[in-house]
Amino acid sequence: MSHKTRFVALLAAGALMLPLAACASTTPGGAANCNVGITMPTRSLERWINDGEQLQKKLKDAGCTVDLQYADNKVDQQISQIQNQIAGGAKILVIASIDGTALGPVLEEAAKQTVKVIAYDRLINGSPNVDYYATFDNYKVGQLQGNFLKDQLKLDSAAGPINFEPFAGSPDDNNAKFFFAGAWDVLLPYVQKGTLVVPSGKAPKSNDEWTSIGIQSWQSDKAQAEMDNRLSSFYTGGKKVQAVLSPNDSLAIGIVASLKSAGYAPGADYPMITGQDGDKANVKAILAGEQAMTVWKDTRKLGDRVFTMIQQITKGEKVEVNDEKTYNNGVKVVPSYLIEPEVVTKDLVQSKLIDSGFLKASDVGLG
Ligand code: BGC
């Protein structure tokens, strides 16, 4: 190589190094160790699309390498996505699991490669190789739903009996257990007293029996079919359902569709239905009087928290958590950061969801 070509080659190498150096200064702990694999359950639910894209953007803006994958609610697909991320050099995995008990072997592989694992929103069970958990206070989500029904139906003073139908989330999702327990701790005493009656008989006798009314994969159409069955078998002779515990918005969509096809319309005889997430279709349903509330989880806050965790990991700092007792995954208590959920009703849509920029007014037909 002549002096001249060597000089040009050096210049080119220098030019190549410049953006890397610039990157490293804005990257949490340097670009090299900020290589993140994100796996989300499905694109069929609005919240997971927002969750994934927001976190990906934040990390990319900070100069991290990011791979974001969705698995169509298929466990095997999610496992192979995680395997590919490990093989591709990811140093941190952010996983919103489909089945919280199915990831043990792949996380063993991650641990061998000293990859850190953050369970995102849903706990990963049965594995020692889960380093942190970032989520909303899932028990509180259920409590907010239960207390909403208790207050709105005035269960302490109402004579009853009030016709009520409870639903629970996907049996493979650890969160669903917490949502149900939070709501059932409030509502079960009123079922036992007879203020609430469950004509379908589908009222778990204890929190542990929640899977008996769980809707697999949180599917709207399965919730709709279940509600259709309950209405056609147990609501005959003019009997009307007055309240439904729906643990999230995707189930509420199915329940509302079933009610509509059975002839229910918003108004005095329309049942009170709960939800969770603040999806656009459900906010529209709230504004139309078809759903009474949703428990809003500002997923931007969850993304910000996970971003902070990643920064702390890459800088070798202590990772901040605020709960070290609630989330035992069967092998260990996973250090967790819990974020507060909030109730949104019709009169709070503007101030909570739109003014904060979570949704656009035009998304929900307001302006
Ligand atoms: C999440 C909820 C979501 C549900 C269905 C749960 O694990 O916490 O926000 O509605 O999954 O995807």
Check: CB of residue 243 under 8 Å from CB of residue 198.
Answer: no
Query: What burial class does residue 355 get, using C-beta atoms within 10 Å of its C-beta: 0-12 exposed, 13-18 middle, 19+ buried?
Result: exposed
Residue 71: CA count within 13 A, CB half-sphere:
20
The SS3 call for residue 288 is coil
What local confidence, expressed as pLDDT, does residue 281 receive?
A: 96
Contact assessment for residue 322 and residue 266, using Cβ atoms and an 8 Å cutoff: no
pLDDT value for 19? 39
Contact 190, 155 (CB under 8 A): yes
How far is Cα 210 from Cα 168, in angstroms, rounded to an integer?
Answer: 6
96 alpha carbon to ligand 1 midpoint, in Å?
10
Q: Which pLDDT does position 31 carry in this prediction?
A: 55
Token pair 């990811």 is found at 90
Residue 277: CB within 6 Å of ligand 1?
yes
pLDDT in tens, the chain (367 residues): 444 444 344 444 444 444 333 333 344 445 567 999 999 999 998 899 999 999 999 999 999 999 999 999 999 999 999 999 999 999 999 999 999 999 999 999 999 999 999 999 999 999 999 999 999 999 999 999 999 999 999 999 998 899 999 999 999 999 999 999 999 999 999 999 999 999 999 999 999 999 999 999 999 999 999 999 999 999 999 999 999 999 999 999 999 999 999 999 999 899 999 999 999 999 999 999 999 999 999 999 999 999 999 999 999 999 999 999 999 999 999 999 999 999 999 999 999 999 999 999 999 998 7
Sign of CA dihedral 331, 322, 121, 226: positive
Paired residues of 197 in beta bridges: 163
- 132 CB less than 6 Å from ligand 1? no
Instruction: Please report the pLDDT score of residue 25 as a whole number.
Output: 39
Closest CA to 148 of 253, 257, 240, 244: 244
In ligand 1, which atom is closest to the CA atom of 135? 8
CA 5–ligand 1 middle distance (angstroms):
58
- Report whether 336 contacts 321 (CB < 8 A): yes
Whether ligand 1 lies within 6 angstroms of the CB of 248 is answered as yes
pLDDT value at position 160? 85
DSSP track, 183-195: HHHHHHHHHHHTS
220-234 and 249-261 are packed helices; what angle lies between their axes, rounded to 10 degrees?
40
230 lines ligand 1 (CB under 6 A): no
Q: 336 in ligand 1 pocket by Cβ < 6 Å?
A: no
Query: pLDDT at position 32, please?
Result: 60
122 lines ligand 1 (CB under 6 A): yes
Question: Is the distance from the beta carbon of residue 175 to the nearest atom of ligand 1 less than 6 Å?
Answer: yes
pLDDT of residue 367: 76
The residue nearest atom 9 of ligand 1, judged by CA position, is 277
Q: Could you give the C-alpha distances from 259 to 246, 284, 285, 345, 348, in angstroms and in order? A: 13, 16, 13, 20, 25
Using most ligand atoms within 8 A of CB, pick from 39, 46, 47 the residue to mutate for ligand 1.
47
45 close to ligand 1 (CB < 6 Angstrom): yes
pTM attached to this predicted model: 0.89
Ligand 1 centre from 216 Cα, in Å?
Answer: 12
- Alpha-carbon span 121 to 52, nearest angstrom: 12
